[in-house]
């Protein structure tokens, strides 16, 4: 999350005000590998400062697309209180629903929902076609739907119509979060100085990951983490 220059500025201003000299926020770069030492992508990184800070909800809806029979992105991390907008970009219907997470479905979803999403570009139906389709109900033409998430934790995503579709949302209870990229790296800015705990979470995990402990200060900090398992390769 490098989108908070204002937050950073205000921390610097405050530090100046109280003549403490240094900025009161730091950045943390975490490199995560799997159990085999290979870069681990799509790991949720959650930084909890010793003094907990509640996250601010995203000001605009966070889009999760259904495209080419996939959820895009596969993993979305949002702060508590945000609104997810599911957008169907395919030319056929989807029926998005929340599911438990984890390989055995052992992590219940923190929000339960089912959303019927009509095809993105419906050909205008003739009156006759409309009559034929009538028993299924009138199509609204809506190709997106929104869900507000108010509790921290995982939400698995599936589709009633296409069982191969799998996606993941993680709702963060801290404002300092990110997900690792293809190199297994995530950078989080604006973390208050001092001790912090770094939690790791992966959609395929069976067991919790041991949190890292870091000491945040004005200079950029690096940390390494390793998952206690090796995630399955995802079809791309
Ligand atoms: Cu579908």
C-alpha of residue 71 to centroid of ligand 1, in Å: 9
Q: What is the CA radius of gyration of the chain?
A: 21
Pairing of strands 44-49, 194-201: antiparallel
Half-sphere exposure of 57 (CA within 13 A, CB side): 13
C-alpha of residue 64 to centroid of ligand 1, in Å: 13
CB 27 within 8 A of CB 191: yes
Structure tokens at 214: 């870091």
228: nearest Cα among 29, 37, 47: 37
Per-residue pLDDT, 105: 92
In order of 36, 129, 158, 185, 201, the CA distances from 42 in angstroms are 16, 44, 17, 9, 9
Higher-pLDDT residue of 232 and 149 is 149
Per-residue pLDDT, 24: 81
Q: What is the pLDDT of residues 127-162, one digit of tens each?
A: 444 434 433 333 444 589 999 999 999 999 999 999
Q: CA 67 to CA 92: how far, in whole Å?
A: 10
Q: What is the pTM of this model?
A: 0.82
- What is the average pLDDT score of the chain? 86
Structure tokens at 225: 């983490």
Close Cβ partners of 195 (under 8 Å, ≥ 6 residues apart): 49, 50, 213, 214, 215, 216
Q: CA 74 to CA 89: how far, in whole Å?
A: 15
Per-residue pLDDT, 95: 96
**Preceding peptide of 73 cis, ω within 30°:** yes
- Positive or negative: CA dihedral 53, 57, 58, 62: positive
Give residue 17's pLDDT band: very low, low, confident or very high (50, 70, 90). very low
Q: What is the pLDDT of residues 167-197, one digit of tens each?
A: 999 999 999 999 999 999 999 999 999 999 9
Higher-pLDDT residue of 15 and 106 is 106
Q: Could you tell me what percent of the chain has a pLDDT over 70? A: 80
C-alpha of residue 160 to centroid of ligand 1, in Å: 6
Nearest 5 degrees, angle CA 94-CA 99-CA 103?
A: 120
Per-residue pLDDT, 136: 38
In this predicted structure, which of 84-93, 118-127, 225-234 has the lowest mean pLDDT?
118-127
C-alpha of residue 93 to centroid of ligand 1, in Å: 6
C-alpha of residue 169 to centroid of ligand 1, in Å: 17
C-alpha of residue 34 to centroid of ligand 1, in Å: 30
Round to the nearest angstrom and report the end-to-end CA distance of the chain: 25
């Amino acid at each position: 999350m490098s989108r908070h220059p204002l937050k950073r500025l205000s921390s610097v201003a405050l530090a100046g005000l109280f003549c403490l000299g240094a900025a009161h926020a730091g950045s943390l770069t975490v490199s995560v590998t799997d159990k085999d030492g290979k870069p681990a992508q799509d790991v949720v990184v959650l930084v909890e400062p010793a003094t907990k800070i509640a996250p601010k909800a995203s000001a605009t809806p966070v889009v999760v697309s259904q495209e080419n029979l996939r959820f895009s992105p596969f993993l979305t991390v949002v702060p508590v209180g945000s609104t997810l907008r599911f957008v169907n970009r395919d030319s056929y219907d989807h029926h998005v629903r929340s599911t438990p997470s984890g390989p055995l479905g052992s992590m219940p979803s923190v929000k339960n929902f089912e959303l019927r999403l009509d095809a993105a570009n419906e050909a205008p139906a003739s009156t006759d076609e409309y009559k034929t389709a009538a028993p299924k109900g009138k199509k609204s033409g809506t190709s997106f739907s929104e869900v507000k998430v108010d509790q921290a934790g995982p939400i698995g995503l599936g589709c009633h119509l296409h069982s191969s579709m799998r996606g993941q949302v993680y709702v963060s209870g801290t404002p300092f979060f990110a997900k690792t990229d293809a190199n297994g790296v995530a950078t989080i800015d604006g973390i208050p100085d001092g001790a912090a705990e770094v939690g790791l979470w992966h959609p395929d995990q069976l067991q919790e990951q041991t949190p890292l402990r870091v000491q945040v200060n004005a200079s950029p900090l690096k940390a390494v983490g390793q998952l206690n398992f090796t995630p399955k390769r995802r079809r791309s």
